[in-house]
């Protein structure tokens, strides 16, 4: 495994790696949106008993904000809320389902008296992006090694998304724990 990023400071070396041991799904975390996907080959959304017709009716309610979710399947699976680029391909893509949030769930999570529709849409888009990063293997981890002994002194894995986040967290760990950088 080759490091994507390396930084040595004093007696400690930070390395950021692609995390190939993704044994969790971000859908197992607390999520505000509910992803309902249809198709026998896709077990990546949330468990739901909704039929396609029931989901469509639910998403038309005024107290629900929803977005379509499109899949591109070609040697792997990626998803998006926009039907552009590869998600508009007539052979390898199509609508997989929807992600939605009810007013009740939004207010329970965000507080307040009213649902901010723009904020709700941003939440749903970010949850789809996070699941897409997971599906496409955009997951990172770091380890800090004591250069005097060669022993790994700290590590953290499972940073989903941009590698920049794992780098920043690794540098912060070196600063916090070892007072270096």
Q: Where are the domains of the chain?
A: 5-22+138-178, 26-135
pTM of the model: 0.86
Share of the chain above pLDDT 90, in %: 70
Q: What is the pLDDT of residue 150?
A: 92
Q: What is the pLDDT of residue 42?
A: 63
Region 10-35: mean pLDDT is: 88
Q: Which ranges in the chain belong to alpha helices (H)? A: 52-59, 103-110, 117-135, 163-178
Q: What is the pLDDT of residue 26?
A: 83
67-125 confidence digits (pLDDT tens): 999 999 888 889 999 998 888 888 888 899 999 999 999 999 999 999 999 999 999 99
The phi and psi torsions of 98 (rounded to 5 degrees) equal -145, 160
Instruction: Please say if the pLDDT value at position 181 is more than 60.
Output: no
Do the Cβ atoms of 36 and 124 come closer than 8 Å?
no
């Amino acid at each position: 495994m080759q490091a994507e990023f390396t930084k040595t400071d004093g007696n400690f070396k930070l390395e950021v790696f692609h995390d190939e041991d993704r044994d969790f799904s971000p859908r197992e975390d607390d999520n505000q949106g509910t992803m309902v996907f249809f198709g026998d080959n896709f077990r990546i959304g949330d468990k739901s008993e909704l039929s396609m017709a029931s989901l469509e009716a639910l998403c038309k309610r005024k107290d629900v904000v929803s977005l379509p979710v499109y899949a591109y399947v070609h040697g792997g699976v990626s998803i998006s809320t926009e039907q552009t680029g590869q998600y508009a391909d007539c052979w390898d893509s199509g609508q997989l389902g929807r992600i939605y949030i009810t007013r009740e769930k939004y207010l329970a999570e965000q507080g307040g008296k009213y649902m901010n529709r723009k904020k709700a849409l941003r939440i749903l888009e970010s949850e789809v992006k996070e699941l897409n990063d997971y599906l496409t293997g955009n997951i990172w981890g770091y380890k800090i090694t004591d250069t005097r002994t060669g022993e790994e002194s700290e590590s953290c894995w499972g940073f989903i998304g941009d590698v920049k986040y794992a780098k920043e967290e690794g540098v912060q760990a070196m600063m916090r724990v070892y007072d270096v950088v």
